[in-house]
Amino acid sequence: MPSGRAIAETTRDPTSARYPLCIHENISAANVDVMLRFRPVDGKVDQAGGIVVRLRDPGTYYVVRANALEDNVRLYHVIKGVRRQFAGKDGVKVAAGRWHTLRLRLAGDAFEVFFDGQSMFTARDTRIAAPGKVAVWTKSDSVTQFGEMTVSVLP
């Protein structure tokens, strides 16, 4: 990794519905463009890393994530702790042990998702409109390293 610094989720708790968050406390916005470098390292249940936006509380947010065990990128809304996919792309090679970039641009109800510099898909959703925090996300027993993250607040 270029800067040589990373944070990591290393807990190996295999609970399927466990979603650790590392919240960026200094930003609260509705419209953002977030880019994250991450490296899935290990995990038997999952090997995932993601970006959370419009985080109101641990049970209300949007998350885009890439998963090395499933080779896909998916977009979810989480409301009252229930996670539901509303967009995604399968067949995306998410190599374990390699640094990747994940980017989410959200303006109004319009989402655009990029993986390793390539546009993956667009989507629309209006379920969470209010401003919220930005965070990094992982799941279950994923051992994931998170590197540089840039956040641009959009008008």
Residue 63 is assigned to a structural domain of this protein: yes
Determine the Cα–Cα distance for residues 24 and 38; give it in Å rounded to an integer: 16
According to the model, what pLDDT value does residue 3 have? 59
Residue 1 is assigned to a structural domain of this protein: no
Quote the domain boundaries for residue 122.
Answer: 7-153
Residue 108 is assigned to a structural domain of this protein: yes
Residue 129 is assigned to a structural domain of this protein: yes
Tally of domains within the chain? 1
Nearest to 87 by CA among 57, 56, 113: 113
Residue 2 is assigned to a structural domain of this protein: no
Residue 57 is assigned to a structural domain of this protein: yes
Residue 22 tokens, joined: 């590392």
CATH of the domain at 35: 2.60.120.560
Determine the Cα–Cα distance for residues 143 and 122; give it in Å rounded to an integer: 28
**What is this structure's pTM?**
0.95
Type of residue found at 46: D
Q: Which residues face 145 on adjacent strands?
A: 8, 39
Spell out where 10-131 has E strands.
Answer: 21-29, 32-42, 48-57, 60-67, 72-79, 82-90, 100-107, 110-115, 118-124
Would you give per-residue pLDDT tens digits along the chain (155 residues)?
Answer: 445 678 888 888 899 899 999 999 999 999 999 999 999 999 999 999 999 999 999 999 999 999 999 999 999 999 999 999 999 999 999 999 999 999 999 999 999 999 999 999 999 999 999 999 999 999 999 999 999 999 999 99
